[in-house]
Amino acid sequence: MLFKFRSEIHCRSTCLKILLSGLILSALVFVPQAQAVVVKGMYRVEFPVPDQTRAVRTAVFNKGLEEVLIRASGRRNILKEIKTGSASAYVQQYSYAEQQQPIADGGVDSRGQLKPAVPKSYLLTVEYNPGKIVQLLRDNNQPVWGVYRNQALMWLAVRDGTSRYVLKDTDNSLLKDAADDSMQRRGVPLVWPVYDKQDRNKMRFVDAWAAFEKPVKEASKRYTTGPVIVGRMSWNGSKWNGDWSLFVENASYTWTLSSTDYNALIAEAIDLSADEIGKHYAVLERQGINEPGLLIEVGNIDSVEDFRAVQTFLNKLTAVRQTSVSRVENNRVEFVVDLRGDMNDFVRQVSTDRALQPVVKDIQPGTSPEQSAQLKYLYRQ
């Protein structure tokens, strides 16, 4: 029985190598099996409109294009850098939906019967062509931040009169809703802490209020390897005051804001944060540079499904133009990665996801080419 077991292992290893080699030769396109967050609706916008006239539709097309370009580039001032031409040229499809609202008298006529709802307005949904948007940015030498993004975590500490608290994922809060809406507008996936005993032991309210880097980063490891936003908001009876901090990679940023409108304050804080996050993760394509592909070795690939998942993960990174396979040995696959950006873009994007674990723990953005003649990772199944 022992001999039979070993034979089966050898057979599976050999068969896996044959299968992978066959897949490489046939250049199959695989169905994505993404492990990180794919931002849904990044190229879609919705606006309430009073009618279906061409003038209103054109205005929405223009506004929507700006919003989509900001999401895709990570830059709020993107329209100052490029000329788009007609916004309708980038529209893939659009549709209207009636927004119904009961009439003011309660919807009951003199006979005690319900009256039909009166159309109040329409919701115009516009889908833009992703390929055209990305090509517009690249043609104008602008960075592209793809749909494959790591999640940002938000710690929002609030002082409201005599109350003080940290908002958690199950809370119903207007402040939380405003943050969700602003993050969605910028295309940054957001998670909130559960703020249970485990969180409170690592980061007390005073730690969140002071945005102490060490407890913030330690508590945040539970949720994300990506950006962490810490907001502190207080109401003084006439306006909201807010101090905001962003921790992304090894950098940190702070802002102090105030407004009578909490929506405006939170929107500005999110915009400032998203602008800086975009600078870290959006990739500027190199032009006119011919360099050999980056070699990376990925171990712990024990099945065709593992191989597909790794290759899909690599191809979804905006730093990657395409990948090919140069060698398969046992449960290790060597990929040749053709980069759009530089090696640091690649290392940075891989490091923000849990899919691949570096074998050399000091692989970080800033690693020199000499140090990384071949990057080695283990696939986390």
pLDDT score of 344:
85
pLDDT band at 289 (very low <50, low <70, confident <90, very high): low
| Cα 354 to Cα 380: distance, rounded to the nearest angstrom | 7
pLDDT tens-digit map of 328-371: 999 999 999 998 878 888 888 888 778 899 986 545 555 554 44
Q: Which domains does the chain have, with CATH numbers?
A: 2-30+286-379 (no CATH), 38-139 (no CATH), 150-281 (3.30.160.100)
Least confident among 31-45, 164-178, 270-284:
31-45
Average pLDDT over residues 280-307: 86
Least confident among 11-15, 58-62, 166-170, 269-273:
11-15
pLDDT tens-digit map of 213-234: 999 999 999 998 889 999 999 9
Helices (H), the chain: 2-26, 54-73, 130-139, 174-186, 197-202, 205-210, 213-220, 262-281, 304-316, 343-351
Q: How high is the mean pLDDT of the chain?
A: 84
| AA letter at 25 | L
CA torsion sign for 324, 327, 333, 334 is negative
Task: Sort 68 into a burial class: Cβ within 10 Å, 0-12 / 13-18 / 19+.
Answer: buried
Structure tokens at 131: 């390929």
CB 130 within 8 A of CB 114: no
74 pLDDT higher than 90: yes
pLDDT tens-digit map of 159-193: 988 899 999 999 999 999 999 999 999 999 999 99
pLDDT score of 203:
93
Structure tokens at 380: 């986390």
pLDDT score of 41:
94
Average pLDDT over residues 324-331: 93
Instruction: Give me the percent of the chain exceeding a pLDDT of 70.
Output: 81
Average pLDDT over residues 315-340: 91
| AA letter at 21 | S
User: Can you give the pTM of this predicted structure?
Assistant: 0.75
pLDDT tens-digit map of 87-138: 999 999 999 999 876 544 455 555 656 556 556 789 999 999 999 999 999 9
Average pLDDT over residues 190-200: 95
pLDDT band at 319 (very low <50, low <70, confident <90, very high): confident
Instruction: Give me the percent of the chain exceeding a pLDDT of 90.
Output: 66
Bridge partner list, 166:
157
